[in-house]
Copies of this chain bind each other. A is one copy, B any other.
Amino acid sequence: MATIADVAKLTGLSRSTVSRVINHYPHVSEEKIRLVRDAMEQLNYYPNASAQKLRNQKTDTIAVLVPLLTNPFFAYLLEGIDSVATKYNLQLLVCQTKHDREKEWKFLSLLKTKQVDGVILTAIENEWDKLTEFIEDGPIVLCNEYEKNAHVPTVGLDQVYGGYIGTKHLIEKGHQHIAHCRGRMISELSSDREAGFRKALNEHGLAVRKEWMFGDVSDIEGGKRAVREILAMKERPTAVFTGSDQAAAGMISEAKRHGLRIPEDLAVLGFDDQQIATITDPPLTTIKQPIEEIGQKAMELMIDIIIYKKDVKAPKIRLPFKLIERGST
């Protein structure tokens, strides 16, 4: 492998001058520039990235922690993050936590070893108090999932309100018996959404039935499982408000398989408005989250911090969302 010293030797110049050419510094004569360029070509020289990172004290790499690569929600979030990263020539180190606290911890340690310039979290596995120590090691941006007392930039939605309008929609459709499938129990996002759900029921004098509250439902299989539980009940809900289109699609499929009609026997409301929402039968009524925008915004904040060195403080950015009515409710 050719190094900068080889180029210097071949041209008869110093490493400094070669470096100046590589980095387009002014005050290098045209003649030497050409000389160096030719030598680099001839030697098939490429600067060693590790050496540059060491010297420049930055890596131009951002770690993105996602719980599950195969969950399309996070794929779209990544897509949003990637679209902005690409524009600024930043690399993405994709880290899958599989909801494992230790993995999350290990990945955050990339900040300590200066392997990345920043971390974007799309979920939170550990207690936030335990994660605060990493803040001094480099910028952390939170997106999608959030944490009320986290003093870091955050991008997300008003999930209480999301839960509220979704539930209200079902009530307005005439439902009195409404179930709720939430995501993980440790998720503040899910808890907020549930709070919105409860608020809507309360306002309309409807009771919250705890046997109709399902936890940890976040994919197709989870949706199917919930339906099976519902089918085993004497008293069944007539509508379900679900935390993701994946889960909702699983519910519709399983419910139909057991002879229920959607929405007559069971109305299903999704969340996200993913592609899958258009191919269920009937198509899903859902609350559209601007997933890619959430990712973009998060990466833009990161860029403000690490590239433009702005002091962004810890803004809590809330993006808008809306209900999209299709056939499932």
Binds B, one of A11-19, A201-209, A246-254, A314-322: A246-254
In the complex, which of the residues B72, B95, B109, B253 contacts A281, with contact meaning CB atoms closer than 8 Å?
A: B253
In the complex, chain B residues whose CB is within 8 Å of the CB of A79: 69-70, 96
Kindly identify which residue among B103, B115, B279 contacts A220, using a CB–CB cutoff of 8 Å: B279
- Report how far A213 CA is from B300 CA in the complex, Å: 43
Closest to A48 in B: B114
A 222-254 contacts with B by CB, 8 A: 246, 249-250, 252-253
Q: Which residue of B lies closest to A45 (CB)?
A: B112
| Distance between Cα atoms of A249 and B72 in the complex (Å) | 16
The interface residues of chain B lying within 8 Å CB-to-CB of A92 are: 93-95
| A252 contact from B47, B95, B110, B279, Cβ within 8 A | B279
Determine the chain B residues whose CB is within 8 A of the CB of A280 once the complex forms.
Answer: 253, 279, 281
- The A251-282 residues at the B interface (CB cut-off 8 A) are 252-253, 256, 275-276, 278-281
Q: Write the residues of chain A forming the contact surface with B, with a CB cutoff of 8 angstroms.
A: 1, 46-51, 53-54, 59, 61, 69-70, 72, 75-76, 78-79, 82, 86, 91-96, 103, 109-110, 112-115, 219-221, 246, 249-250, 252-253, 256, 275-276, 278-281, 283
Extra contacts, 12 of them, besides A50-B115, A69-B82 (Cβ < 8 A), are A48-B114, A69-B75, A70-B75, A70-B79, A82-B96, A92-B95, A94-B94, A220-B278, A220-B279, A221-B275, A250-B279, A276-B276
